Amino acid sequence: MRRILLSTLKILVSAALLYLALKKVDLRELAARLTNIASLGWIVMAIAATFAQIAFGVLRWREISAECGAPLAIGQAMRFNLIGTFFNQTLPSSIGGDAVRLWLVARNGAGWRAATYSIFIDRAVGLIALAIVIVASLPWSYRLIDDPQGRSALLFIDFAALAGGLGFLVFGKLQWPWLKRWWGTHHLHACAVIANRVLFSRTRGPRVVALSLTVHVLTVVIAWCVVQAIAAPVTFGQVFLLVPPVILITMLPISIAGWGVREATMGLAFGYAGLMANEGVNVSLLFGAVAFLVGAFGGLVWIFSAEKAERPSIPIQVPE
């Protein structure tokens, strides 16, 4: 019952925020801007960049999962990630696909603990990398955003995420024996220890950092392709500064696939930067549409996957 209520609440949040955001948008005018071949070409490039982003995410996940004791073949990891993108679009959360990836890894012999650790650490590393990207761009963001409320919101959200991520890594450095014994800290501490081992490894660390940064840069590239598709008056630099904070907020599991939250936040971010808020909503809608199309492909992968086709065998006992 509680799960149903939470799902219903997230649906209502998405619907309410989408309604408020779409009040600023002329959908017919937006559709008219997508009718030429050049626009469709940019959308195709956005879809290609999304697949590239998934591939780089797969490479990072394989590095982390191997350290967690859940090694994955590259084809298997790619399939699981594509399936995850589908469930990200259908489950009432922006991270619903993670639960499905966890289930897929666990039932393929890795075990629930190793599977959970690999997914959790992968998310944590991605969050830390995103927070660092935003912090590194703050001097330029401050030049772009003059509004005091916008600056304060940006600082609070980013430093909260960065503090949480770095606190997670520091937690893994603590050697207090009770952290490893008490049920409330045992698994979190184990994940933090593995995350430190991955990030500060001479072999895995540089690869994981480079892959994480590439994933976030590709998010900006996808948004830039969408901007070009509708010929919005926004520069690449502005997209680079505005999109990562929006993605950070969208990671909060309070809506379905981030819908509504992303549109409202993108419109607000564009307004704070002195740009047209409706263009921010336009960009966000198309960004979400690209993710939905890629997720639909992931749905096909799920339908024809061996995991979907398998059925658990239930022994039938005949009464004597």
Domain boundaries, the chain: 26-302
pLDDT on residue 22? 62
User: pLDDT tens digit string along 50-59?
Assistant: 999 999 999 9
* Nearest CA-CA partner of 306 in 34, 54, 73: 73
Q: What is the CA radius of gyration of the chain?
A: 21
pLDDT on residue 6? 58
Give this prediction's pTM.
0.87
Alpha-carbon span 131 to 146, nearest angstrom: 21
Exposed, middle or buried by CB within 10 Å (0-12, 13-18, 19+), for 215?
A: buried
Alpha-carbon span 114 to 5, nearest angstrom: 30
pLDDT on residue 23? 64
pLDDT on residue 18? 60
pLDDT on residue 45? 97
What's the token pair of residue 221?
A: 């590239």
Q: Tell me how crowded residue 29 is: count the other CB atoms within 10 A of its CB.
A: 11
What's the token pair of residue 135?
A: 């912090």
pLDDT on residue 92? 57
Name residues of the chain where pLDDT drops below 70: 1-15, 17-24, 26-27, 91-95, 254, 308-320
Exposed, middle or buried by CB within 10 Å (0-12, 13-18, 19+), for 291?
A: buried
* Nearest CA-CA partner of 251 in 104, 150, 126: 126
pLDDT on residue 261? 84
Half-sphere exposure of 144 (CA within 13 A, CB side): 22
Structure-derived torsion over alpha carbons of residues 240, 246, 249, 250, reported in degrees to the nearest 10 = -110
Alpha-carbon span 122 to 65, nearest angstrom: 8
Which amino acid is it at 198?
V
Alpha-carbon span 74 to 61, nearest angstrom: 10
Buried b (16+ CB within 10 A) or exposed e, 113-129: ebbbbbbbbbebbbbbb
